[in-house]
Amino acid sequence: MLCQVQQPQILICLLAIIQILGLALFARGFFPYKVYLSGFANVTTAPPWPDASQTRPTLIEPEFDRLVFIVVDALRNDFVLGPDSGFDFVKSQIELGQALPYTARATAPTVTMPRIKALTTGTVPSFLDAILNIAESDTSSSLQHHDNWVQQFRQTGNRTIHFFGDDTWIRLFPNTFTKHDGTTSFYVSDTVQVDLNVTRHIQPVFSTQDWDAIILHYLGLDHVGHLGGPRSPLMKPKQREMDQAVEKIYEIVAQQDAERIKQDVNAKGTLIVLCGDHGMNEAGNHGGSSIGETSAALVFLSPRFESRPTIRHHAQGFQIINEDITTRIFGFPVIDQIDIVPTLASLFSFPIPKNSLGKLIPELLQRKNSGNSPVELLRALQLNAYQLGQLLCRMVPDLPQYLENPITQPSLSDTRGHIGELYSRAVIEHNKFLSSSLEDVAISENAAKNYLKFIHEAQSQLARTASDYKIVDMTVGTFLMLMSAVIFIYQSIFFSERSSSLWWSTNLAVFGMLAAYGVSLFASSFIEEEHSIWYYFTSTLFLLLAIQCFKIPNKSIVQQMWLFIQCILQLVLFRVTIAWDSNIKPLIIGELKWHMLALTLFTSILWNIYILSWSKYKPVHTTSASGAGYIIAICKIMMVLIMTLTCSLIFLYKTQSESQQENDIPEVYQNFITIYLEFANQLDQVALGRLIYNYCGSGLFLLTVLVYLIKRASILDIQGHEQQTKNQHYLDVLLCMATPILVLFTRSYYAPLFILYIVQLCFLRSWYGALPLSLGSSEFSHFNTRLVAFIMLCMIHAAFFMTGHSNSIAAIDLSNAYIGVTGYDTILIGALTFCSNWATSIWWCIAGWILLADCGHVSSWWEYVTTQSAMFGTFLLVLSVAVTILREHLFIWTVFSPKYLYQMAWTCLFHWCVQVIGGTIAMQLYAIRRTS
């Protein structure tokens, strides 16, 4: 108990270290790197032909000898295949039957790095790649030693590959590309230059003909989605720009192929693959598992298709292809994105990468020069089935005997139900077909069907394989988090020796809510709808407090009624804020958006003037002779001027970054910008963002100077210093100054929420100030601190969800993560991304400091920190137990894992970095505590 009273910060630091260490161990066990089969596939590991022929080549003859692989980031299927597509040239090729379109299903997490891994290795990447995706300097996830089609293509015939675009490829494939030029994938504010840097290479590089493959990765369409969503006015022009790039490439390679075939009869032609790495949701984000995010476009084009009637018309005879494809979107087949890998291996005659889970796309193997004969297609299916069988051998110990000796296995009736039976039957039928005159279509169809059944079953079993969890690390990590949480809970409950019986019913309800939230972490549906939980908790809490107002002692019925009305008004305001995203935001369009933004910033200025002119922000006795009063007055005037200029610059930045057209901005604001902000209007977005940061830093510096002067003037004042017991703090000014910068980090249509927050805070301070604590009683102080902690817990979580966020990775908003930044820096961009997504929660975090500073007791802050740490620590502990128990759950990677990542951010970044470290510094600098 002595440690609790005198030095609680030491115990808190120790428990924080234990908790973070436990979290790190648990994360290492729960998010391991995926284990791959080592080495690269080669021709010698391929199975023999079913009839043991020595005359046929081990791999089938290549269909193409050059490849152009174009990735358009976030190319959703409807952007190409939908009726409102801007890809006119690509659609014309599809309509002419000279291109093969598909919807390629991607798996979560739908972010760039995992999807590139899937596109090149054919595997389902580890969920940890979603974290590594934001670390541009990360090289630990390199594919240099993992089997993939890029390396296989390069090694087969010593081919040359060039790359231009997203530099993630350069990090994944170091020393692979002969020519390359990378662009950063996270600078989402750039929608133009990032693509021009790729397109400018088309003419000079393609014309040189010193290449066998060129990979292009365009980022602009994804950036347009992040900034304005799929319905952005910039989306259709960007689609046309991408379509024109494809058309230009097609024309160049068509001319080159025609000339190459004339000069060399063995020339095969060029295949162009246009695909998206993932899609996007209706907010323009991605990372989750919604239909829009997982539905990417995929189109195969080639000038060679123009002379192939089997592409334009379905062949008669061998009809196995379309029977296997049952799902269609926009009238075109749906495949898995990883199916690209074995398909490219077959088309270019190189071994299928060892770890690929993909299935061959048979339609691309129908060749004109072989008529309807399925010899090479069956061989390709055999190679695909054998490769998947090798992966499955780890799960099915007796499968190797079926793979190595399929024809000599026991009768099928003796091995009924074994997956190897499908492979044996397929090989037997395949052998029968090869031993015949190669005209028995029925036998070939049976062989193909059995190969496809085996491939499908192998895929299903491999997909059900449990991840390589490190249970020991998870268990030790959970134990450390348990130890930290238990001590925090003990400290919070038994922090004081006395507790009031006034709030026992509210206290009981709070514990019930916390228990209910813990239970909800075991249900995927509750995690997906977590916003409803916090909305309900907050509304219920204010209703309980309203009822409790009539039990507060030392208050007349009128005073109790006024406190009751304040709680009811809180409920009304809270209901407005939770309805903002779904009901009010759609109404804030056009000029109204700019009026609301201007009103929010102007309110911040008025609030700043009111706070700085409030009499409490002065030394108790300052004589004019000392001169301190004049200096303090100058500081206040300068702070108001800086605040005004900062708000004006933020408004200018918002108009430049979010207005689609100049006439979207009302004329009154255009005139204001032209007359008063002409100097800043000439700056680009990066320089303007940095100027805003500079003014914010200047304002913070002046606030620190102001507090120092007032404190020193009060100390030096010899009159009445013994009587100075007035509680003072300057966190109001800090919150007032933080509001505009948080508005900057928030989308403009959410800006008016901060006005409502200010009103809510005023009601909270009025209500909290009327509690018995304000009358000098310490009987209620400790519970009041815990009550404030839970109120703030509800408000910071509710505010997070009010601005359209959720527990999906797709809800992460990158649109404001590059303000004032020219390049990519992992720490800086990570910090800005956190601030832009947690802006409203940070606002309420500072508001909680104000309520604690109003209390003024030295112990209140550490009790508040202990209580918050107990709640965040318990949430993290319970979620860790939940994901451990449910690690085989169907939604473990789509629901529970993203939630765990968010909880890590809540605990480490929000609670410890902002709430504890930031709050402790702020309380030390800007609060003058009352001494009892």
- DSSP string computed for 499-552: --STTHHHHHHHHHHHHHHHHHTT-HHHHHTHHHHHHHHHHHHHHHHHHHGGG-
As a whole number of angstroms, the distance between CA 673 and CA 683 comes to 12
Three-state DSSP class for residue 321: helix
Cα angle: 67, vertex 69, 70; to 5 degrees: 145
* Segment 726-772, tens digit of pLDDT: 445 788 999 999 999 999 999 999 999 999 999 999 999 888 877 76
Q: pLDDT > 70: what percent of the chain?
A: 84
Among 369-378, 581-590, 692-701, 899-908, whose mean pLDDT is lowest? 369-378
pLDDT beyond 60 at 675:
yes
pLDDT score, position 316 = 45
Give, in order, the Cα–Cα distances in Å from 688 to each of 263, 405, 581, 680: 58, 71, 29, 7
What average pLDDT does the chain have?
A: 84
Rounded to an integer, what distance in angstroms lies between the CA atom of residue 550 and that of residue 542?
14
The CA dihedral of 641, 644, 646, 647, to the nearest 10 degrees, is 170
pLDDT band at 725 (very low <50, low <70, confident <90, very high): very low
462-478 b/e with 16+ CB inside 10 Å = b? beeeebebbeebbebbb
Residue 527 to residue 895: CA distance in whole angstroms: 7
The pLDDT score that the predictor gives to residue 11 is: 92
- For the stretch 537-560, pLDDT in tens is 999 999 998 988 888 777 888 888
Of 373, 333, 367, 364, nearest to 105 by C-alpha is: 333
- For the segment 766-793, the average pLDDT, to the nearest whole number, is 68
Label each residue of 359-427 as H, E or C: CCCHHHHCCHHHCCCCHHHHHHHHHHHHHHHHHHCCCCCCHHHHHHCCCCCCCHHHHCCCHHHHHHHHH
- Residue 481 and residue 494: Cα distance in Å, rounded? 20
| 3-state helix, strand and coil shares in percent for the chain, rounded to the nearest 5 | 65, 5, 30
pLDDT band for 51, please (50, 70, 90 cuts): confident
Q: Give SS3 for 296.
A: strand
**How many residues are there in the chain?**
932
Mean pLDDT lowest for which of 111-125, 183-197, 450-464, 843-857?
183-197
Residue-wise pLDDT for 266-284, tens only, equals 888 899 999 999 999 988 8
Which residues lie closer than 8 Å to 74 by C-beta, 6 or more apart? 221, 222, 225, 276, 277, 278, 279, 280, 286
- Identify the residue with better confidence: 894 or 565: 565
853 φ/ψ angles, rounded to the nearest 5 degrees: -65, -30
Predicted confidence band at 893 (pLDDT cuts at 50, 70, 90)? confident
Report cis status (omega within 30 of 0) of the bond before 397: no
Which stretch of 381-395, 420-434, 778-792, 802-816 has the lowest confidence by average pLDDT?
Answer: 778-792
Closest of 452, 380, 388, 344 to residue 120, by C-alpha: 344
595 band by pLDDT with thresholds 50, 70 and 90: very high
Encoded amino acid at 83, one letter: P
Q: What is the pLDDT of residue 187?
A: 63
pLDDT band at 188 (very low <50, low <70, confident <90, very high): low
Task: Assess whether pLDDT exceeds 60 at residue 260.
Answer: yes
CB-based contacts of 757, cutoff 8 Å, min separation 6: 577, 799, 840, 843, 844, 847
Query: Which of residues 894 and 800 earns the better pLDDT score?
Result: 800
Can you read off the two tokens belonging to residue 437? Answer: 């005159």
Beta bridge partners of residue 68, listed in sequence order = 214, 272
Entry pTM: 0.80
Single-letter residue type at 379: R
Task: Note the pLDDT of residue 554.
Answer: 77
Give the Cα separation of 116 and 112 in Å (integer): 6
Q: What is the pLDDT of residue 892?
A: 83
